[in-house]
Structure 1
Amino acid sequence: MSRCYRNICILLLLSFYCLLSYFIFKHYQRIDFSSFYLSSQAFLQGENPYRNFFTTYLSSAKILPANLNPPFVLWSFSFLAHFSYSHALLFWFFFSLILGIMGVTITFYYAFSMRFLKKNYVILYLLYFSFFPTLMNFVTQQFGCILLFLIMLGYYFYLNRRDYIAGILWGIIIAIKLFPALLFFYVLKQRRQRVLLSMLVTLLIAVFIPVLVYGPVIYNQYFKMMSNVFWYGDDWNASIYGFIFRLVFGGEILPNMSYLIPVNLVYGSVFVLLLLWYWLNLGPTDNDRINHQPFCLTLAMMLLMSPFGWVYYFPLLVLPMTLIWFVALEKQNIPTKTMVVWLLCLFLINFPVDYVNSKEMHNLLVRISFFSTFFYGLLFLIYLLAQRKKIYGNNEIQCDGVTHYSISAMYIIFIFGVFVPVIYYLVRLLNLHLNLGVP
C-alpha cells in the first residue's frame, strides 16, 4: 500500500471512529457499559445488581439488557460507580482502548518478525481497527479488549516461564468471563503444573471475594438472572450453543426454561465430544521453536464451546488468523486450498451484520445461513488449525505471487467490513440531524 493511500485510509478510519465516539458520548448509541455501570451502582448500594435497569442519563427512560458479568467483575470495577456516568464512561472508553492496543501489540510481537513489524506496523494497526469485531467491541464498549490484553499478556509470561504471573492473569480472566477456562486444559496438556495451580488458586479467590464481602445472596441473584436469559440464538453468538439454539428456535418468545432442555441435552453431548477432539488435536510442545498451534486452537475452541461466543471477543482470533495466513503463504506457486479456506474464514468472521435477536429470525434457512456467518467462520478457522500440528511465529513474507493475491483479497474484505457500518452510521447521523432540526 502506497504512503498516500495509507494516509487516506488512516484519515477515513479515524474519522469513522470519531463518529462512533460522538454517538457513544452523546448517548445516541446504546452500549453494554450502561448496564454494567448501573449494576455496579446497585452492587455498591447492596441492591440486586442482576436485573433490568432503565437509563437515567437520557431525556427518555429506556430499558437496558441485564448485565451478565459475574460478581467478581462487579466487585473489581465497583469504583466506577463512585463517578458520574459520563466520567465513568470516559475512563472505560480509554481504559479499554489502551488495553486493546497493548493486547494486539503482544499479538503482533509473536506473529511477525521484528523487521516486518518495523516496516508494516502502521498497516497492521490499521487492519486491526478495521476488523469488524474490533469495531463492534468499540461500539458496544464490551470486554473484548480487556480479554485480549489479559490473555495475551498471560501468554507472554507463560512463554517466558513466569508461571505464577501467567497463572494469576489467566485466573483473573477466567473469573471475569468463565469461557477462557479451556486454558486449564491447555496448561494441563502442556504439563505446566505451577501455572495450573496458580490459575486455580486465583480463580477460587476471585470467586469467593464477592461472597466474603456481600454474602452468598449475590450468587443466588446471578444464577436466577442467568436462568431467564434467552440471548443464545442471537446472530452475534458464534458458539455451537448459539447455532443449536438457532437450529431449534427462532421467531417466537420463549416463556420458560423448559424450552432449553432439549438444547442443553444436545449441547452437553456435543461439548464433551468437542472437548475430547480438542484434547486429541493439540499440537506438541517444541523445544527448539515456539509452537503456537495449541494456544491458537485453544483460543478458537473456547469461543466455539462457550454458551456465549460473542463476535466482540473475536479480536482474540488475530493471532491464529495471522499465523494460519503465513501457513497458507508457504505454498508459493498457486492459490492453495488453505488460502482459499482462510480467505473464506476471514470474510465470514468479518461479515458486517447488525445484531439481530433470535425472536426476529422467523426463517430456519436464514437462521442457519446468513445469521450464522460468524459460527461458520469460526469452524473454518478451527479446521485450519487442526490441519497443522506445528505453527510458528515471528514470520516474514517470503513470496510474491500468492502474497499479492491474498493481500488484495484481504483489503477488499476489510474495506467491505468497514464500509457497511460507515454507511449505517452516516445515515443515522443524517436522520438525527433532520429529527433535531440541525442545519
Structure 2
Amino acid sequence: MPDHAVPSPVSARPAARPLTGRIAVPGDKSISHRALMFGALAVGETAITGLLEGEDVLRTAAAMRLLGAEVERLGEGRWRVAGRGIGGLTEPEDVLDMGNSGTAARLICGLLAGHPIFAVMTGDASLRRRPMKRVTEPLAATGAVFRGREGGRLPLAIEGARDPLPLDYVLPVASAQVKSACLLAGLCAPGTTRVVEREATRDHSENMLRHFGATVRVAAEGAGRVIELDGQPELVAAPVAVPGDPSSAAFFAVAALLVPGSRLVIENVGLNPLRTGLFDTLREMGATLTIENPRTEGGEPVGDLVAEGSALRGVEVPAERAPSMIDEYPVLAVAAACARGQSRFRGLAELRVKESDRLLGTAEMLEAAGVRCAVEGDDLVVEGCGGQPPGGGTVRTRMDHRLAMSGLVLGLASRDGMRVDDGAFIATSFPGFTSLMNGAAGAGSIG
C-alpha cells in the first residue's frame, strides 16, 4: 500500500484529443466491501469476480482474515471467501486498521456489535478525524460497548454483545453506512431488526442479504423506506459478480461530456436507481448520456454507459436527490463549472463529514480554476463559464481521493489545466485511474 506521508503531485493538461473507445472501470466499491463481509458471515465458499482491488477494499479483506474468515485472491478481481457463519467470527489478534475507508470502518462496527469478542479499530489520519458516533450510538442498543476518543472518533475499542438485542432505529440522517451497520448487527440478534430511513439510500446491503439467503422486507414510507430483517438467518455462500462502480464511471462520463467530439463507452456499469442521481442530473443539464445492453447481474441492474461531448446548462438539484449521488458532487461541480448559467446543489451537509470537508474542498477546487462559486448554508452555487474555465491553479485535495480525481477532470476541461497537490489517495478507490484516463483522453493528458 502506498506511503501517504509523501505527497505525490500530479497535473492534468487540456485533453490531447476527444475521449473515445470502450473502457471498463473497477468494480463497485460499496458492493466489493459487502461481498467480502457477507462472504465471511456465510456458510461455505463465496466466489467473487470483479472485486475492486483498491486500498479501501483490501483493508476489508485483511480485517475479515483477522476475524477468522479465509480470504484468498485467485487472480485479477477473483477472490474466494470461506465464511464462519453467523456469530462465528473470532477475536482478532491484532488491531483492525481500516486505512482511509469510512465505509469499512462503520460497517465492521455493526458486524462486531453482534459478536461476543473484543477488537480495536483504527485508521489513517483522515479517518481518525471522521465522526463515528452516528454508528456507535445506535449500535450500543444491541448491548455492544464502544470506547473511542472525543466525539467517538478512532481509535475505537469495541466489545461486542454476548446476547445482542435487535434494533428498532430511525435514521436521523440519510446514510447507507449507518443503515447497513444496523442490519449487520441485526444478523446476530434474535427477532426482527427494523430500520426506518426518511430518504431512500443505496440498498446494496438489502440486495446482498437476500442474495445470501436472509429474509429482508422493504416497504415504502413517504419519501423513505422501512427495512425489516429477520435475525439469526443461515447465510449460504453465493457467487457475487461485482459490476463497475458508477462513482468511478462518473469521472470518465463527465470528462467525455466536457471534451468536444468525445464518444466514450463505459462497460458494465452498475445502474442501481439509488446510485444514479448524477446521471439523471447530467441529462437534465443537456448531456447526451445513454445506456446500451441493459441487464441484471447478481440482483443489480447493469449496462454500458455511453457519454458524448455535450453543451451543458446550469441546473438546480433538490436536496432529496443527494443520497443517490452524494459521492459525485465534486465531479458534478466540474460539469457545472463548464455549463452555461448558474447551478445550485441543495442539502449537502453530508459532504462535510466525508474523507474531508468535501463541500468546502469542492468550492476551493472551483475557485482555483477561476470559477465563481459560493457555499450558502448547505448549498453549493456554481456560476458556469459556458465552456472552458480558465484553470491554471492547484487543487488542495485534503487526503480526499474524489477531490483529487475531480480536480484532474477539471484540468482536462480547462484552458490552462490544473495541478493536484497529492494524487496518492486515488489508489484507495481507483487504482489505475491515471493510465485509464490517459488511454481515453490521449497520452500525457495526466502526469
Pairwise TM-score range, normalised by the shorter structure: 0.3 to 0.5
User: Where is the helix percentage greater, Structure 1 or Structure 2?
Assistant: 1
User: Where is the strand percentage greater, Structure 1 or Structure 2?
Assistant: 2
